[in-house]
Amino acid sequence: MSSIGDNVVLTVFGESHGPVVGAVLDGVEPGIEITDEMIASFLSKRRPQNITESARKEPDHFQIMSGVFNGRTTGAPICILIPNENIRSSDYQQGVARPSHADYVAHIKYKGFEDYRGGGHFSGRVSAGIVATGAVALKALEDRGIHIGTHILQCGSVRDNNFVDIDTEISLLNSKDFPVISDIESEIIDEIIKAKNSGDSIGGILQTAISGIPAGIGAPWFDSLEGAIAKAIFAIGGVKGIEFGLGFGFCDSNAKGSTVNDQFYYDGECVKTKTNNNGGINGGISNGMPIIFNTAIKPTPSISKPQRSIDFIKGEDITLEIKGRHDPAIIRRICVVITAMTAITIYDLIR
């Protein structure tokens, strides 16, 4: 289903080639100041921007349809629409199963009635609704002193630094169009251009930090903080893995309890841990340290190199060359989607 959350519920709708994509965010507390600039700025971060990204123009002339009155949230559901413009539906036809795309599974699940143009409801375009409403959730969190930022940790052989001085780095990342901590923007762009020039694509690892979250958020067992964040992040197309703190690094051959346990200590009145290998979460619950997680994004499946696949309408094997306007890498654009989805999830949990 296209909804998530208990106290703050996000619903998305729309298709890549329909009139709009949009989202409803319900459960937002009354009185949060909302400006068009805030949402526009957030949306601009997921828009194709440079030579490495899709040529589809997405001006994102969004409109707030409900839930905001006199510049503040009212407590009623907030619906934001983003019209689809610059559509070229002729690039698509039903039956061609692009490898590692959802065309085939959409056809099975929706029994042949799916809107197949540009991925339909599966299109990354729908994430514009998540970003627009995520800006609202993030504002509500920032009013509470909680901040969230995401950067490209790894792309090809290029690796960014881990978070160290988290609040400063989050602030830096949110001010940049190309979210990296160290000075590696051009190296990453080189990696992407290299993939693009060979008609190929590339993925990467994104790292997200949440600062200012108090201890005690989450629950043992099924409403663990890790589970809530993971469920939300796997909603984003292209995500194939998530790890908290050291994550898979906990399984390195030299990782032992004595080397990876986070020892508690008092910093004045405040409880902290000397290391933060658990990414701020013990037993499914925040411990007051920043929450840190990494997300694995697979290479964009749309590539221009010829591929073998099937036409499930004709029922035959084919060779396929994908046309249309596509990104050789979505890792930059997806950072703000992850930040938005994280903001909505954390807001749901603390509301």
Which region, judged by CB under 8 A, interacts with a copy of itself, from 52-60, 85-93, 164-172, 227-235? 227-235
Site for a copy of itself in 124-183 (CB under 8 A): 126, 154-157
Nearest distance in Å: CB 98, a copy of itself: 9
Q: Give the separation between CA 285 and CA 313, rounded to whole angstroms.
A: 48
Cα atoms found within 13 Å of the Cα of residue 311, Cβ hemisphere only: 10
Nearest distance in Å: CB 220, a copy of itself: 5
The 316-335 contact track toward a copy of itself, x by CB under 8 A, reads xx------------------
Closest CA to 285 of 209, 350, 222, 220: 220
Q: What is the DSSP letter of 229?
A: H
Q: Give the separation between CA 14 and CA 11, rounded to whole angstroms.
A: 11
Which region, judged by CB under 8 A, interacts with a copy of itself, from 132-140, 167-175, 181-189, 249-257? 249-257
Site for a copy of itself in 182-221 (CB under 8 A): 195, 198-205, 215-216, 218-221
Q: Give the separation between CA 349 and CA 247, rounded to whole angstroms.
A: 22
From 284, 325, 350, 351, residue interacting with a copy of itself (rule: CB under 8 A): 284
Contact 107, 91 (CB under 8 A): no
Q: For residue 66, count other CB atoms closer than 10 A to its CB.
A: 12
Question: How far, CA to CA in Å, does 24 sit from each of 128, 161, 205?
Answer: 12, 36, 29
Residue type, 24: V
Q: Give the separation between CA 293 and CA 337, rounded to whole angstroms.
A: 15
If you count them, how many residues does the chain have?
351
- 3 scored as a contact of a copy of itself (CB under 8 A): yes
From 38, 40, 172, 260, residue interacting with a copy of itself (rule: CB under 8 A): 260
Site for a copy of itself in 54-113 (CB under 8 A): 63, 65-67, 69, 72-79, 81, 97, 99-102, 104-106, 108-113
Q: Is the torsion defined by CA of 140, 150, 242, 237 positive or negative?
A: positive
Which region, judged by CB under 8 A, interacts with a copy of itself, from 45-53, 116-124, 134-142, 179-187? 116-124
Site for a copy of itself in 291-310 (CB under 8 A): 296-303, 305, 307-310
What is the token pair recorded at 16?
Answer: 């890549």
What is the token pair recorded at 207?
Answer: 């790292």
- 350 scored as a contact of a copy of itself (CB under 8 A): no
Count of residues binding a copy of itself (CB under 8 A)? 141
Nearest distance in Å: CB 231, a copy of itself: 4
Nearest distance in Å: CB 90, a copy of itself: 16
Q: Which is nearer to a copy of itself, 107 or 174 (CB)?
A: 107
The 26-45 contact track toward a copy of itself, x by CB under 8 A, reads xx--xx--------------
**Residue 271: what are its φ and ψ, rounded to 5°?**
-85, 125
Q: Which is nearer to a copy of itself, 75 or 324 (CB)?
A: 75
Nearest distance in Å: CB 198, a copy of itself: 8
Q: Which is nearer to a copy of itself, 135 or 239 (CB)?
A: 239
Contact 333, 45 (CB under 8 A): yes
Closest CA to 297 of 238, 209, 247: 238
